[in-house]
Amino acid sequence: MPPIIIAGPCVIESMDCLEEVAQELVRLKEKYEMDIIFKSSFDKANRTSIHSYRGPGLEKGMQMLADIKEKYGLRILTDIHESYQAQPVGEVADVLQIPAFLCRQTDLLVAAARTGRTVNIKKAQFLSGMDMEFPVQKVRESGNDDVWLTERGNIYGYNNLAVDFRNIADMHHFTDTVIMDCTHSVQRPGAAGGKTGGNREFVPAMALAAKAFGANGYFFEVHPDPDKALSDGPNMLYLTDLDRVISTLID
């Protein structure tokens, strides 16, 4: 069975950018006959600096994602940061994502669960894979069994992350779908003078290592020109490189 691919720009910058990415994702979806989910954020509420670009906001951002969904037929994933966002986001998005730092927030998990949409919970940088039993339990006991978990690395000293790939196998105890966030795992949080740095050259290897440990989904933030992106540029893949990376993950 082909893996799930989640891909898109970190944050919504413009409709032109969304469409350029969506067109390539449709091409890859048809080429590989696999599920590719379009991801972008309407608000990046956890930027390093208060002066950093956050996105167009809930109302405008969700309308832009709805337009992408209608025009290109791609499923949509986006993240929520507050409980009130779950219901309106759930009217458009097929997958609601819980950010890593918020994965223990009960009200947020319950609100996401009650939309009936798939809930993708990112493992916090300060938790182990086995600790994710309880966020999953909160969603399921709120009436939603459709839960995914995502590995994105652990805090390792200052401004760095390390990935313990055993977390992937551990999280399979709680859900059939475990995603590897291949681009956030190569971040250098807060290491670029008020912004997050990163090492995108390690992304392909992160994906292959995760495959060896049993991941069945992969999360890639991609951009036509990451070095000019308004968020997460240093760890995002060039859109033109996504095809090559996906090809290595196909059995």
Task: Encode pLDDT of 107-161 as tens digits.
Answer: 999 999 999 999 999 999 999 999 999 999 999 999 999 999 999 999 887 778 8
Name the token pair of 33. 């006959």
* 97 Rama sector, left if φ>0, alpha if ψ -120 to 50, beta otherwise: beta
Is the C-alpha dihedral spanning 226, 223, 235, 91 positive or negative? positive
pTM of the model: 0.93
For the beta carbon of residue 247, count every other beta carbon within 10 angstroms. 11
111 three-state secondary structure: helix
Answer yes or no: are the C-beta atoms of 76 and 69 closer than 8 Å: yes
Q: In angstroms, rounded to a whole number, what is the distance separating the alpha carbons of residues 248 and 251?
A: 8
Name the token pair of 177. 């779908």
How does pLDDT run across 55-111, given as a tens digit for each residue? 999 999 999 999 999 999 999 999 999 999 999 999 999 999 999 999 999 999 999
Q: In angstroms, rounded to a whole number, what is the distance separating the alpha carbons of residues 88 and 249?
A: 34
**Residue 196 confidence (pLDDT):** 60
CA distances from 74 to 6, 97, 188, 219 (A): 11, 16, 31, 15
How does pLDDT run across 41-63, given as a tens digit for each residue? 999 888 777 878 899 999 999 99
**Residue 190 confidence (pLDDT):** 59
CA atoms within 13 A on the CB side of 135: 30
pLDDT band at 237 (very low <50, low <70, confident <90, very high): very high
Enumerate domains of the chain plus CATH numbers. Answer: 4-247 (3.20.20.70)
CA distances from 134 to 96, 104, 119, 137, 217 (A): 18, 8, 14, 5, 21
